[in-house]
Chain A
Amino acid sequence: MSVEVLSTLHEALQFLAARPDALVLGGGTDLMVELNAGHRQAHAVACVNRVRELRAWLNDPVAATVHLGAAVTYAELMTEPLASLLPALAQAARTVGSPQIRNAATIGGNVATASPAGDGLPVLAALNAIVHLASAGGTRDVTFDQFATGPKRTVLRPGELITGITVPVLQGYQGYSKVGVRNAMVIATASACLAVHAPERSIRLALGSVGPVIIRAVDAEEFAAGAVDWQAGGASDGVVTQFATLAAAAARPIDDHRSTAAYRRRAIQVLAARLLRRAFPVESAGTAS
């Protein structure tokens, strides 16, 4: 029986190698709920939210990436300078829970929990983030879309830890939008992140809470990239409508205690249209296609 408060990555990986059954505790905002409710039993707990390497983040302007240690909190993500480097992640962070939750909850925890409703996840999906994993035996990198295999299911192995996430810094508009029953303290009924990378003329759209994992609306992305007016920064109403229709078609929502599949699909349509209009605010007449 032990609770280990770990302060270095080496210590953390050694402990997990010795106790692969240990629960990994980050900010506690998911795991403690399960412990409080008796849904999980704790025999050994590895507390990683004070591990030095996991608390750090690094901006690499040459590579145009930000490396986020897994224990960077949502409160930190919505504060400068990270907020300007990764604006959609800052927007998503601001919608997470409450100040109390954001002070504790970590980006690594959000990824590890792999809830389809995780607020940070559509952003990481849209930005093509890389998840870094480590165990006493070595390290490996997994692209974000390969990390979660289902609701709360991931490729993490026993004894393995998320050490960080590398997030590309894009050029162009990026935003996160969410539908829920309140402004604060609310889990997403549906959510979406749109990110533009102007040098590549690419538009990415990732959808949350409308499938077993985060979904990239690839058809909508490809359509928009060819149909918007890149020069003027505009899109016709017809392009916005078609983009939203394709986004809704990509969603795979279900009926559950929070909402219905039909409502969620409609919400994605609205969010996608809103985000594309924010990214291309000029109401141009025609389409490029």
Chain B
Amino acid sequence: MSQVPAAPIGTNLQYRLHVNGDDRPVTDAWVGESLLFVLRERLGLLGSKGACEQGECGSCSVLIDDELVCSCLVLAAAATGQTIVTIEGVAPVGSPSDVQQAFVDAGAVQCGFCTPGLIMAAHSLLQRSARPTEYEIREQLSGNVCRCTGYGRIIEAVQQVAVSRRETGS
């Protein structure tokens, strides 16, 4: 009795994701793939970093419909029809956002691995709160682990952006 070879289990998903303003097709995906995996391995967006894959480190942070989330904890195929912004979508290459520039100016970057996630978290924080206290900043960035800086300069960078946005009224 002849048998048709079975297709690889669960690798036949096709869907589209709206990432950084582009409609991106995803093909031959497995059911259980995280958004982080799809961003990096299928869409070539390597800015979001994968470390813990359990929502502990924040290095994979992205915005989905303006909410800051860990992309490792988002089922990619469930993010269809939502607006996804990754670190690549924050500002064009060569012209950093005010938060990115402030991180550079404050020396808030050492190895750089946590930086994309922290930039996403800082943008999200400053969008919600124009005058964050240091306590608020620490609480809002508490899901982003940095093992190099000790956080002092990261907090300074966020405070600097808040001040300059108020001064320029932007």
Contacts and interface: CB of A to CB of B under 8 A. Distances in A.
Given A32-B74, A37-B53, A99 B68 contact: yes
B56 A185 contact: yes
A49 B81 CA distance: 13
B78 interface: yes
A279 B68 CA distance: 35
Contact size class for B?
20 to 34
Contacts of A288: none
Interface string A33-76: 10111001111110101000000000000000000000000010
B10 interface: yes
Interface in A14-45: 25, 27-29, 32-33, 35-37, 40-45
A98 interface: yes
A104 B31 CA distance: 20
Given A25-B75, A33-B73, A36-B54, A41 B142 contact: no
A1 B73 contact: no
B132 interface: no
Contact of A42 (B32, B61, B74, B139): B32
Nearest to A35: B32
A97 B75 CA distance: 19
A33 B75 contact: no
Interface string B73-88: 1110110110000000
Contacts of A84: none
Contact of B13 (A1, A98, A185): A1
Contacts, number: 107
Of B9, B13, B68, chain A has the most CB atoms within 10 Å of the CB of B68
Contacts of B144: 98
Contacts of A99: 68, 121, 124-125, 139-140, 142-143
A97 B78 contact: no
B162 interface: no
B159 interface: no
A47 B76 CA distance: 11
B10 A42 contact: yes
A269 B70 CA distance: 35
Contacts of B56: 185
A100 interface: yes
Contact of B143 (A32, A42, A43, A101): A101
A2 B29 CA distance: 11
A101 B32 contact: no
Contacts of B47: none
B72 A183 contact: no
A198 interface: no
A42 B61 CA distance: 23
24 contacts: A1-B12, A1-B13, A3-B15, A3-B78, A5-B80, A5-B81, A29-B55, A29-B73, A33-B73, A41-B32, A42-B10, A42-B32, A44-B31, A45-B32, A45-B77, A97-B55, A99-B68, A99-B140, A100-B69, A100-B73, A100-B143, A103-B67, A185-B56, A185-B143
Given A100-B61, A100-B70, 16 more contacts: A3-B13, A29-B55, A32-B34, A33-B55, A36-B72, A40-B32, A43-B9, A43-B10, A98-B55, A98-B142, A99-B68, A99-B121, A99-B125, A100-B55, A100-B68, A185-B143
The 3 residue pairs across chains A and B that have the minimum distance between CB atoms: A98-B143, A184-B142, A3-B77
